[in-house]
């Protein structure tokens, strides 16, 4: 017989949302996610992380002005266990999240963006769990800007389980974000924001 403390705790969506609201009131900047039924905290971004999002936001606005890269919107991500994720950016039509509240329907989202953080959970969170959650949700493109590996990874063609197409380039190379985004990124500036 195992002790109760040895069992993993799986939280349902309703309890998670209440816990996230309480924590947000108690601690400024606290951000929680529910991926695969497990609660995860998302670290606050540093200056380089924020600069990368600014860079990408500007590119998206220049090339696709009818869309907006929202750096704050939480998404209902993952059908299994009703996950909740906070991407570093969600590219969608400008009014896609109007009236949606803290956790929006991911249906109109064309691309999610994650920029790795310098914490021990980034590998599991950004490279594994969130990639799977976004693929299961059917978000067409997952853009991972990996500061530790100094590379950009574009995941596309979700099949409901995983992304079937993965394209990786080192910082400094050009990479194309396929349809429905249709933007080409010149990644040279990322070399300045790896810290």
| pLDDT confidence of residue 2 | 43
- Residues 167-183 have pLDDT tens digits of 999 999 999 999 999 99
CA 92 to chain centre: 13
Give, for 136, the enclosing helix (H) or strand (E). helix 130-137
Per-residue pLDDT band for 7 (boundaries 50, 70, 90) equals: very low
Q: Kindly tell me if the per-residue pLDDT of 140 is higher than 70.
A: yes
- 23 touches 32 (CB < 8 A): yes
The answer to whether the Cα torsion of 174, 51, 132, 86 is positive or negative is negative
Closest to 33 in 3D by CA, of 139, 100, 109, 122: 122
List the chain domain ranges: 45-192
Give burial (CB, 10 Å; 0-12/13-18/19+) of 7: exposed
The proportion of the chain whose per-residue pLDDT surpasses 90, expressed as a percent, equals: 54
Name every residue whose Cβ is closer than 8 Å to that of residue 27 and which is 6 or more positions away in sequence: none
| pLDDT confidence of residue 82 | 73
CATH superfamily, region 45-192: tt1808, chain A (3.90.1570.10)
Q: Kindly tell me if the per-residue pLDDT of 152 is higher than 60.
A: yes
Mean pLDDT of the chain: 83
Structure tokens at 92: 């969608």
The span from the CA of 69 to the CA of 148, in Å, is 23
Q: Kindly tell me if the per-residue pLDDT of 160 is higher than 80.
A: yes
Q: Kindly tell me if the per-residue pLDDT of 39 is higher than 80.
A: no
Cis, bond preceding 180 (omega within 30 deg of 0):
yes
Q: Kindly tell me if the per-residue pLDDT of 147 is higher than 70.
A: yes
Question: Per mean pLDDT, which of 16-20, 73-77, 184-188 is the most reliable?
Answer: 184-188
Give burial (CB, 10 Å; 0-12/13-18/19+) of 125: buried
pTM of the model: 0.79
54: region left, alpha or beta (phi > 0 left; psi from -120 to 50 alpha): alpha
- Residues 78-98 have pLDDT tens digits of 765 578 888 999 999 999 999
């Amino acid at each position: 017989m195992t002790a109760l403390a040895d069992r993993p705790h799986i939280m349902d969506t309703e309890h998670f949302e209440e816990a996230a609201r309480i924590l947000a009131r108690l601690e400024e900047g606290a951000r929680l996610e529910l991926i695969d039924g497990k609660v995860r905290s998302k670290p606050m971004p540093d200056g380089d992380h924020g600069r990368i999002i600014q860079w990408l936001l500007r590119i998206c606005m220049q090339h696709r002005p009818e869309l907006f890269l929202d750096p704050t919107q939480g998404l209902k991500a993952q059908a299994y266990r009703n996950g909740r994720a906070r991407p570093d950016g969600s590219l969608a039509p400008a009014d896609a999240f109007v009236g949606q509240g803290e956790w929006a329907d991911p249906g109109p989202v064309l691309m999610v963006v994650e920029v790795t953080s310098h914490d021990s959970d980034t590998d599991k969170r950004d490279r594994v769990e969130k990639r799977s959650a976004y693929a299961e949700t059917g978000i067409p493109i997952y853009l991972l800007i990996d500061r530790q590996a100094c590379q950009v990874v574009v995941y596309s063609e979700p099949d409901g389980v995983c992304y079937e197409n993965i394209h990786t380039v080192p910082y400094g190379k050009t990479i194309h974000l396929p349809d429905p985004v249709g933007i080409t990124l010149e990644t040279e500036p990322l070399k300045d924001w790896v810290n």
